[in-house]
Amino acid sequence: MVISDPKYDIPRNFEGYGEHSLHPHWPSNAKLALSFILNYEEGGERSTLSGDGQSEPYLWEKGASSSYVPSGRHNGAESEFEYGSRAGSWRILRLFKEQGYKFTTWAVSQAITSNPTFARALVREGHEIAAHGARWLDILDYSVEEEKEYIKKNCLELEAVTGVFPRGYFFGRGTPNTRALWPEVVKEIGEDRGDGMRLLYSSEAFNDDVPYWLDMPWERDLPEAEKEGLLVVPYNYDCNDGKFHMSPGFTGTTYLDHLKATFDMLLREGRGTDAFPGSPKLMNIPLHTRIIGKPGRSEALREFMLYVKEKGGDDVWVATREEIATHFKSVYPYKPGELGGGIKGGLD
């Protein structure tokens, strides 16, 4: 049963920033912020060896067509995920080093712990470590206390293997309480350790093209000066390489075409035209080591990176989500009741 606790209930907002959005004032007057995100899940998926009773049927080359084995292991599913950790991960790391770009890693802690060499390489190359769950599983039926322990486990395991405490997160498979619960758990960790640790941002939303602030319901009765809110750096699925394994899905060519079209539209909006002023946005490109890490798909990603440099030049800011959140917070500090820039959108 899905448990929704009123203490963590966040109302919906259908208006957002409105007709003209909010100018984020990206660094160096960039017209578009570009965020690459690597979902690292290999080793954290469903597995009989982890006590799940079946191998993972979701998001691999053969998909759900033949991966369910009620009473045993499925070598195809296991080895498909292992390709991501053994080969695809390193191909992606080489590609980003070649192009001089940094990405954010949505890291499942059981997965990244199973490949500490890659974990260390991520830190060495300057890529962001962010949280993606202790396992790559749905936790919709977790109680508040169970989810608190799950979040804490994810954060501390990532810190143990990388030396970095995650400042941002995306679950994607959490509960209705996740968005407001996560910053509370991190605050409790910071208070217990005495280091003042706080969550910088959440990406548990797909509802905008620029960051915005949320009021936290559990802060409602605090003095205004003690409220911290939650900064949301929105994510999306439309450019997700996972659609290579969904219907109608992507091929290498259609994937590249879609990335280019998305980039062109957002850059055009950021630069402005005679008909409307520039309104810079954020573009998300979610990746997976077992998917985009395959050679043909990696080549499509490489071609897109070259396109970005050719068409965007200095108008494009390729940044980690931590960099994006830090910048936005400096330009638009949290004010209770506001999304940002004086635009109302807080709790009723």
pLDDT of residue 165: 98
If DSSP codes are grouped into helix, strand and coil, which group holds residue 158?
helix
Share of the chain above pLDDT 70, in %: 93
Which pLDDT value is given to residue 242?
86
- Per-residue pLDDT at 329: 98
201: nearest Cα among 224, 235, 225: 235
Q: Which is more confident, 248 or 7?
A: 7
The model's pLDDT over 185-209, given as tens digits with 9 standing for 90+, comes to 999 999 999 999 999 999 999 999 9
What number is the average pLDDT over the span 265-288? Answer: 96
Give the pLDDT confidence of 120-156 residue by residue, as tens digits: 999 999 999 999 999 988 888 999 999 999 999 999 9
**Each residue of 204-222: pLDDT tens digit?**
999 999 999 999 999 999 9
Residue 41: CB atoms within 10 Å: 26
Residue 227 and residue 217 in contact, taking contact as beta carbons nearer than 8 Å: no
pLDDT of res. 170: 96
- By 3-state DSSP, what share of the chain in percent is helix, strand and coil, each rounded to 5? 45, 10, 45
Span 260-273, mean pLDDT? Answer: 98
Set out the domains of the chain in order of their start, with CATH numbers: 27-344 (3.20.20.370)
* CA separation for the pair 317, 281 (Å, rounded): 11
- The string of pLDDT tens digits covering residues 74-109 is 777 788 888 999 999 999 999 999 999 999 999 999
Residue-averaged pLDDT of the chain: 92
Distance CA 229, CA 12 (A): 16
**Burial class of residue 25 in the structure, from the number of CB atoms within 10 Å of its CB (0-12 exposed, 13-18 middle, 19+ buried):** middle
